[in-house]
Amino acid sequence: MQSLVFDDLIIQSLIIQSQVGLFRNNRFIVYFFEIPGISNVEVLTFNAIQVQIPDITVETERKVINNIPFYYLKERSDADLQITFLDDNNQTIRKLFDSWIKQGYDFLNLKRGYIDDICCEKVQIRTYTDKSTLSTSYDEFTKVFPYKINDINLDKTSEGELIYTTVNFKSRLHILK
């Protein structure tokens, strides 16, 4: 005999599938709002190949009072955001993020800036409920800046493979809206 809770979960699952649709990991778009140094564009939109939305961890502390364990939440920490882009022959994506990083740290001219001077106001990772409708919920990152452009592997034996540019970002705040 099934439990009522299990029956409720099955019904809830059917309602989700018929009304809102299931969350799919291959339908998404990335918006960058107000990137420093790109004054003529308010929002840059990317059809990224892959997004690694960071995990959220809340550090806990254990206290034992009268032999009963209690747990307290201490601090939240988010891992870094990682986005992989398909790049062109001119390495346009790689150059964009390289020039963004150089605004904060230009090793050729020995210039360093402040993080707040190079932060993008926000980045949104939006998913689609179907092929053309954006979901109402999304991940938003505020005060975002790139700090690492990952290596690109050039290999004469891998004929015809596409080149991807992967960039790691730090952010001040990550919210699921």
Q: pTM for this structure? A: 0.77
What pLDDT sits at residue 124? 95
More confident residue, 43 or 159: 43
pLDDT of 1 reads 46
Total number of domains in the chain: 1
Asked whether the predicted pLDDT for residue 57 surpasses 70, the reply is yes
Is 126 within a domain? yes
**Residue 18 belongs to a domain:** no
Q: Note whether residue 16 is domain-resident.
A: no
* CATH at residue 170: 2.30.110
**Which two structure tokens, joined as six digits, stand for 75?**
């601090």
User: Does a structural domain hold residue 27?
Assistant: yes
In-domain check, residue 13? no
To 5 degrees, how large is the angle CA 101–CA 102–CA 105? Answer: 90
**pLDDT tier at 81, thresholds 50, 70, 90:** very high
The string of pLDDT tens digits covering residues 118-144 is 899 999 999 887 777 787 789 999 999
Instruction: Tell me the residue range of the domain where 41 lies.
Output: 23-176
- Residue with more model confidence, 103 or 2: 103
Q: Pick the residue with more confidence: 20 or 88?
A: 88
> In the prediction, which pLDDT does 175 show?
93
In a domain, 85, yes or no: yes
Residue 172 has pLDDT above 50, yes or no: yes
Q: Is the pLDDT of residue 37 over 70?
A: yes
What mean pLDDT is predicted for residues 63-86?
91
**pLDDT value of position 171:** 95
Can you say how many angstroms the Cα of residue 174 is from the centroid of all Cα atoms in its chain? 9
pLDDT at residue number 148? 95
For residue 94 the two structure tokens come to: 């790689």
Burial category of 146 from C-beta neighbours within 10 Å (exposed 0-12, middle 13-18, buried 19 and up): buried
Average pLDDT, the chain: 82
Instruction: Please state, in angstroms and rounded to a whole number, the distance separating the CA atoms of residues 95 and 89.
Output: 11
Check whether 82 has a pLDDT greater than 60.
yes
Residue 4 resides in a domain:
no
pLDDT of 19 reads 52
Q: How confident is the model at residue 65 (pLDDT cuts 50, 70, 90)?
A: very high
Strands 173-176 and 56-65: unpaired
> Whose structure tokens read 């809102």?
20
In a domain, 15, yes or no: no
